[in-house]
């Protein structure tokens, strides 16, 4: 596919005025932008940066550049004009349509993908719930954002490793074991694992308010767990296995798998190496019986490596995990999709890694995201005010099924379509906005299928698939003879063509910024442009050339929507 922006940059960079201003071809490429108003062209070059060097006003520079270009129009450009401080470029619509639609049809599901010179490993750690606690709606953010980031990086040519770093270690498990022994039963846990365990955890905190000795008992039990006490280990392992069964149902509903479930406990025998190395490098010091690394020079509080009772903390295990992953996978990136609440924690232990002399610490990336709260406040598992993620997904599917029946939606399998659309709606809702924003969970918003939603995009895909079914065998052969671009140069077809053409750039930008909402926004735009084209221009017309060109555009749009949804972790039904 022709890179029209690069072609324009190459020609503009060779103009005398650009050379006089000292701009390189790369500078020019970075400055070229896409006008918000398509009436001002397909690309525009702003002249503000040249004003000081050339000692002219930007509008005068733009006019001069038009003269300097003369007959040297870049490939694919049909018209160039100066408008104010901008140099505007209008592309040959027929050429663009032939090039873009042909590229989509030729590449198929691989359109927009990339290859890297060396397929380096990229680790994406995401989801990471705590065992023996609810898998609630708050966990959906890390889960679906991380899943999409992993898919995008794999699509861009990296070897990805999906890690679910389970919260399966720490003082809270001392509390859980104490609570189970005092108020629990094996029968209750077997019947309802998470509900029972969280009720014990809640009970512990209620009782600890009036009996602080319980906290000391919990710390002693966790210390025994760390030492490998058989009785504590047996209970902990049981809690872990029961929790994973519960989590597994949710991951199955979301269609998410992992390459590793190595959680905090996996690194329990690897932390001594960390403390020894910190001591050898003169970074570790004692403070009130605890072992810390001072970070005053970096305007951060000390990083506590061991508590005064000898037990470890999150930061100790995270350092050990990073070292293990580098030695095991030799990653190019080690991505952590974890809430913004943990910003300080990540800054601290990334700094400790650098102080230890590990240059690859720069390849460890924290991807923060905003928090989910309920309308009556922040969710806290110890208080029991949580919304289970499994319940959200189940309710979404049930509500979708009701809508399908009410509206008599065309589908061969109501249950399957309800599953695809209901769960897709929840995922899409999570990825539709910038990840860093906090939001309040409201059922009516999650289950609203109108407007710029997942079901709308899925319906657009199903509509395109329906057109292709009606086209029959002709839809399978439209790419064979090439695409007649002249038939796709109308004001309804061309905006869709342009969006299909910029799809690879949207994927790349989403990967570079770790921001799936960029991709979400793009496929909403594609769906809207497709629906305008569908409503305003008849597809299966009598004229053979026009019919084949329009079928080709529909096929290309269907492919891009399907690929985009797939990279978000959303399925693309053929019938709705």
**Of the residues 136, 165, 326, 333, which is catalytic?**
136
| Pairwise CA distance, residues 534 & 525, whole Å | 14
Scanning the structure block, which residue is given the tokens 């070897």?
159
Q: Which CATH number is 32's domain given?
A: 3.30.1360.70
Q: Is 76 a domain residue? A: yes
pLDDT band for 384, please (50, 70, 90 cuts).
low
Domain boundary among 37, 59, 91: 91
- Per-residue pLDDT for 190 more than 80? yes
Higher pLDDT, 38 or 93: 93
Contact 171, 219 (CB under 8 A): yes
The mean pLDDT value for 4-10 works out to: 95
Q: Is 366 a catalytic residue?
A: no
Distances (CA, A) of 11 to 18, 250, 361: 10, 54, 41
Q: Is 402 a domain residue? A: yes
As a whole-number percent, the residues of the chain with pLDDT over 70 amount to: 97
Q: Which CATH number is 469's domain given?
A: 1.10.730.10
**Of the residues 139, 165, 461, 522, which is catalytic?**
139
Q: Is 345 a catalytic residue?
A: no
For 25, residues 6+ apart whose C-beta sits below 8 A from its C-beta are: 9, 10, 13
Domain total of the chain:
2
Domain boundary among 91, 125, 154: 91
Pick from 357, 350, 348, 352: nearest CA to 300: 348
| Pairwise CA distance, residues 403 & 357, whole Å | 58
Scanning the structure block, which residue is given the tokens 């399907």?
562
C-beta pairs of 27-36 under 8 Å, 24+ apart in sequence: 29/5, 32/5, 32/8, 34/502, 35/86, 35/88
Q: Is 439 a domain residue? A: yes
User: What are φ and ψ of residue 75, in 5° steps?
Assistant: -55, 130
Q: Is 24 a domain residue? A: yes
Domain boundary among 43, 68, 91: 91
The mean pLDDT value for 322-350 works out to: 97
Q: Is 555 a domain residue? A: yes
**Of the residues 52, 56, 72, 133, which is catalytic?**
133
Structural domain containing residue 440: 397-568
Residue 84 pLDDT:
95
pLDDT in tens, 435-481: 999 888 777 777 777 789 999 999 999 999 999 999 998 898 887 66
Q: Is 449 a domain residue? A: yes
Residue 458 pLDDT:
95
pLDDT in tens, 214-261: 999 999 998 898 888 999 999 999 999 988 998 999 999 999 999 999
- Per-residue pLDDT for 129 more than 70? yes
Q: Is 412 a domain residue? A: yes
Please give the model's pTM, rounded to 2 decimal places.
Answer: 0.92
Element (H, E) at 373: strand 372-374
| Pairwise CA distance, residues 100 & 111, whole Å | 10
Residue 132 pLDDT:
83
Residue 382 pLDDT:
46
pLDDT in tens, 337-383: 999 999 999 999 999 999 999 999 999 999 999 988 767 655 554 44
HEC string for 213-275: HHHHHHHHHHHHHHCCCHHHHHHHHHHHHHHHHHHHHHHHHHCCCCCECCCHHHHCCCHHHHH
Q: Is 79 a domain residue? A: yes
């Amino acid at each position: 596919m022709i890179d029209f922006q690069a072609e324009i940059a190459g020609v503009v960079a060779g103009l005398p005025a650009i050379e006089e201003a000292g701009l390189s071809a790369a500078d020019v490429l970075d400055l070229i932008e896409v006008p918000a108003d398509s009436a001002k062209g397909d690309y525009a070059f702003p002249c503000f940066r040249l004003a000081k060097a050339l000692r002219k006003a930007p509008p005068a520079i733009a006019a001069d550049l038009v003269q300097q270009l003369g007959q040297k129009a870049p490939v694919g450009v049909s018209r160039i004009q100066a408008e104010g401080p901008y140099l505007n470029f209008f592309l040959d619509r027929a050429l663009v349509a032939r090039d873009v639609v042909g590229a989509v049809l030729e590449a198929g599901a691989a359109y927009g993908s990339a290859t890297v010179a060396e397929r380096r490993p990229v680790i994406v750690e995401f989801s990471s719930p705590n065992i023996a606690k609810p898998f609630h709606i708050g966990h959906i953010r890390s889960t679906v954002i991380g899943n999409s980031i992993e898919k995008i990086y794999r699509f861009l040519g990296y070897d990805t490793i999906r890690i679910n770093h389970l919260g399966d270690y720490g003082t809270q498990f001392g509390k859980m074991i104490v609570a189970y022994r005092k108020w629990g039963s094996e029968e209750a846990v077997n019947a309802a694992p998470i509900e029972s365990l969280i009720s014990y955890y809640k009970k512990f905190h209620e009782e600890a308010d009036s009996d602080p000795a319980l906290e000391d008992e919990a710390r002693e039990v966790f210390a025994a767990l760390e030492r490998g006490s058989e009785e504590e280990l047996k209970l902990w392992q049981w809690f872990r296995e029961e929790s994973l069964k519960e989590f597994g149902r949710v991951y199955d509903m979301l269609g998410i798998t992992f390459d590793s479930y190595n959680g905090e406990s996996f690194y329990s025998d690897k932390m001594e190496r960390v403390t020894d190395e910190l001591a050898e490098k003169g970074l570790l010091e004692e403070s009130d019986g605890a072992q810390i690394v001072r970070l005053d020079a970096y305007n951060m509080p000390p990083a506590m490596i061991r508590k005064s009772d000898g037990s470890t903390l999150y930061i100790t295990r995270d350092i050990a995990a990073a070292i293990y992953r580098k030695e095991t996978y030799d990653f190019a990136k080690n991505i952590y999709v974890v809430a913004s609440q943990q910003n300080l924690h990540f800054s601290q232990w990334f700094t400790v890694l650098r102080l230890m002399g590990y240059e690859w610490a720069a390849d460890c990336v924290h991807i923060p995201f905003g928090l989910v709260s309920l309308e009556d406040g922040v969710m806290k598992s110890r208080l029991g005010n949580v919304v289970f993620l499994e319940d959200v997904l189940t309710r979404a599917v049930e509500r979708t099924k009701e809508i399908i029946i009410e509206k008599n939606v065309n589908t061969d399998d109501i249950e399957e379509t309800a599953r695809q659309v209901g769960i897709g709606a929840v995922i899409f809702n999570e990825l539709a906005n910038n990840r860093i924003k906090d939001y309040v969970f409201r059922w009516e918003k999650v289950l609203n299928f109108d407007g710029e939603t997942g079901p709308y995009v899925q319906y657009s895909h199903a509509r395109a698939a329906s057109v292709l079914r009606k086209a029959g065998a002709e839809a399978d052969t439209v790419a064979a003879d090439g695409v007649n671009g002249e038939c796709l140069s109308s004001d309804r077809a061309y905006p869709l063509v342009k969006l299909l053409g910029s799809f690879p750039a949207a994927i790349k930008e989403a990967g570079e910024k770790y921001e799936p909402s960029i991709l979400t926004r793009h496929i909403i735009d594609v769906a809207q442009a497709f629906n305008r084209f569908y409503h305003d221009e008849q597809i299966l017309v009598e004229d053979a050339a026009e019919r084949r060109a329009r079928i080709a555009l529909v096929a290309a749009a269907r492919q891009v929507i399907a690929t985009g949804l797939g990279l978000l972790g959303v399925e693309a039904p053929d019938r709705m």
